Amino acid sequence: MTGGGFLARNIAGFTQALESVVVTEDLCHAPGLMQGLDPRIKVVTLMLFIILVGLAQDFTLLIAIFILALLLVLLSKIPIALYLKRLLIFIPIFTAVIAIPALFITPGTPLLSIAGKAVITAQGAHTAGLLIMRVVDSLSLGLLLVFTTPWTKLLQALRWLRLPSLVVDILGMTYRYIYLLLHTANSMFLARQSRTIGGFSGTENRRWLGRALVTTMVKSQYLSEEVYLAMLSRGYQGEIHTLNELTLRRRDFIWMAFALAAISLMVWSIYL
Amino acid sequence: MHIPDGYLSPATCGAMYVVSAPFWYVAVQRVRKVLTHRTVPAMALFSAFIFILMMFNVPLPGGTTGHAVGGTLVAIVLGPWAAVLSISVVLAIQAVLFGDGGLTSLGANCFNMAVVLPVVGYFIYRVISGNSDVNSTRRLVGAIVGSYLGIIAASLVTGLELGIQPLLFHTADGTPLYAPYGLNVAIPAMTIGHLVIAGPVEAIVTGLVFFYLQKSHSALLSREASQKSEGKLWFVWAGALVVLAFATPLGLLASDTAWGEWGAVELKKALGYIPQGMTALSNLWHAPLPDYSVQGMGDVVGYIISALVGIAVIGFLLWLLGRWISRKNEIKKNRSSMGGSAG
């Protein structure tokens, strides 16, 4: 095992995470359909759609939802390549691990046999298909929310949904400091890499990793104390106040009417 | 271990949110009581740290790599309630921003990784470490064993959640609607992977960090937050375990069909579907306490009793392990002090 590979892999991971957060933030401010909607309406309607995906039991409905999500992605000016990339990073891994064996393992009427031995059953294909479509749909709807709503707006919506303010405040600040700690960890690994010629043994790498983690932990502890003092000096008394108020506009009502109509229609199609 | 959307039925997802809710509530109350106004920055910074910890790519002996959760470590440093809260925060951010774990399955993921993992890990850590010194080997062993068993327990619960899906939710012809594998596949698939890879990663990371904390920042290991609850801890966690043991059969009851009916009708359907697995599993469950394999309510009572007996046996074994380590330490200490005086 080479030390360089281990360090590089970690640096790549941190950089990727930072990049994806930055890209997401940028997209949230693009002028698109979903970006212009009130976050509260968006959270509620998209969550309803995701629950609907969970309830759906046939392909037509799941495909209909996927087409709707795709349409919304296009209308919200989300680069289709980026959306597919995010979607497909996940799909192949899970398809291989979960869906493919299900094709063969699920007992039922044989549909197709490969090499005379392995038999794909109709039930297996149905199960695997349902699972794939459900994950694709839920992920598409989730991405739609994340790509069009800044984190702060999302938290405002959660606060409106009666999530305790303490939890909302923690979520907000955690997001803020993940950035900072990612940078800190990244610099630590870069510094290590810049001083490394050749490689280290696995044991040595693990030891260094342990020290790096403790350092990051202690740093975060000191920082939390400093942040607390900074908050106190700005008049913090246990409550964080925000200035911008959310207001509903006409397009919010139009979207809400459309979404609720679509959802009722789909629920009706499930139970009738 | 992050369950995505679409694997669990909406009913299970809802149930898991309900199961996690009281833990979140108590965690918020407890943490606020100890940290007061400091709660927000302290929890936020620590959650951010856990997020980073989960991103670290850990090289394993043998060439593979893995990621740790760090739940037991957090519980040791911050106390179990703060761990419940901060890991839940991290899981929520991972689900929303990175699509790591689903939104509907967030309740289930939080229960597995933010409740079961730190609670089991911390409990075992406390049992093994007893009243030993903060810098003792006994504590280090406690942290390592605790973190390993904590993540195994979490994977077991995850496997259970996934495994009951095809039993409870399928079409008339037996096609599973959600996660397709029964308990006979889901539980081994989850636990074996964790026994071999994720468990060791968790143990290595927790052990290393604990070791360096002992060496250079032992104040972090003996802070008031975790110290304060120490006296009541035995009762609190023993109580929680008993409640959980009693809730085991209730969990099956809550999902659509009643326990007795589920046994008679659904099992027959299931028998046509995964015969060996079901019989193997029922043998597995009834073998230690054969007297309780009576029908109907007897099963429920047997379930509870076997859960309690299991907990007692594991607790006793861990206590023995702790005693054994401290004995060894004492002998070592005596020897070295005697050697010192002789020299």
Summarised one tens digit per residue, pLDDT across range B141-173 is: 999 999 999 999 999 998 888 888 887 887 777
Of A94, A151, A173, the CB nearest to B41: A173
Give this prediction's pTM.
0.79
Residue B327 CA to residue B323 CA, distance in Å, equals 6
Query: How high is the mean pLDDT of chain A?
Result: 85
Tell me which of A83 and B243 has the higher pLDDT: A83
Cβ distance B69 to B199 under 8 Å? no
* pLDDT value of position B308: 66
Domain boundaries, chain B: 10-342
Nearest to B45 by CA among A269, A159, A174, A4: A174
Least confident of A65-69, B213-217, B255-259: B255-259
Question: Is B38 touching A (CB cutoff 8 A)?
Answer: yes
* pLDDT value of position B338: 56
Nearest CA in chain B to A205: B59
Question: Is B297 touching A (CB cutoff 8 A)?
Answer: no
Instruction: Tell me: pLDDT of B283 over 60.
Output: no
Of B42, B57, B212, the CB nearest to A214: B212
Residues B253-264 have a mean pLDDT of 39
Residues A156-203 have pLDDT tens digits of 898 888 888 888 999 999 998 998 999 999 999 999 989 888 778 888
Per-residue three-class SS string for A70-129: HHHHHHCCCCHHHHHHHHHHHHHHHHHHHHHHHHHHCCCCEEEEECCCEEEEHHHHHHHH
Instruction: Tell me: pLDDT of B257 over 50.
Output: no
* pLDDT value of position B252: 47
Nearest to B108 by CA among B158, B168, B172, B36: B158
Residues in chain B: 343
Residue B71 CA to residue B79 CA, distance in Å, equals 11
Question: Is B58 touching A (CB cutoff 8 A)?
Answer: yes
Of A24, A53, A207, the CB nearest to B6: A53
At residue B100, what are phi and psi to the nearest 5 degrees? -90, 95
Amino acid B134 reads: V
Q: How many CA atoms lie within 13 A of A127 on its CB side?
A: 33
**DSSP class of residue A143?**
H
B45 CB neighbours in chain A (<8 A) are: 173-174, 177, 220-221, 223-224, 227
% pLDDT > 70, chain B: 68
Residue of B16, B47, B85, B175 to mutate for A, most A C-beta atoms under 10 A: B175
Residues A6-22 have pLDDT tens digits of 888 888 888 888 888 88
Question: Do the chains contact at B4 and A173, CB–CB below 8 Å?
Answer: no
Residues A123-136 have a mean pLDDT of 82
3-state secondary structure of B176: strand
Of B39, B92, B173, the CB nearest to A171: B92
Instruction: Tell me: pLDDT of A75 over 60.
Output: yes
Position A110 confidence tier, pLDDT thresholds 50, 70, 90: confident
Residues A32-55 have pLDDT tens digits of 888 889 999 999 999 999 989 888
Amino acid A105 reads: I
Nearest CA in chain B to A144: B96
Residue B269 CA to residue B263 CA, distance in Å, equals 10
Give A224's contacts (C-beta < 8 A, 6+ positions apart).
B38, B41, B42, B44, B45, B46
Question: Is A205 touching B (CB cutoff 8 A)?
Answer: yes
A86 CB neighbours in chain B (<8 A) are: 99
Instruction: Tell me: pLDDT of B293 over 50.
Output: no
Instruction: Tell me: pLDDT of B60 over 90.
Output: no
Position B302 confidence tier, pLDDT thresholds 50, 70, 90: low
B212 CB neighbours in chain A (<8 A) are: 210-211, 213-214
Domain boundaries, chain A: 30-149+245-271, 165-233
Question: Is A15 touching B (CB cutoff 8 A)?
Answer: no
CA-to-CA separations, A30 to A72, A76, A249, in angstroms, rounded: 14, 8, 18
Residue B74 CA to residue B80 CA, distance in Å, equals 8
CA-to-CA separations, A233 to A8, A173, A229, A237, B36, in angstroms, rounded: 41, 17, 6, 10, 16
Residues A168-177 have pLDDT tens digits of 999 999 998 9
Two structure tokens written together for B314: 């594991």
* CA dihedral for A34, A40, A41, A43, sign (positive or negative): positive
Strand partners, A113: A119
CATH number of B10-342: 1.10.1760.20
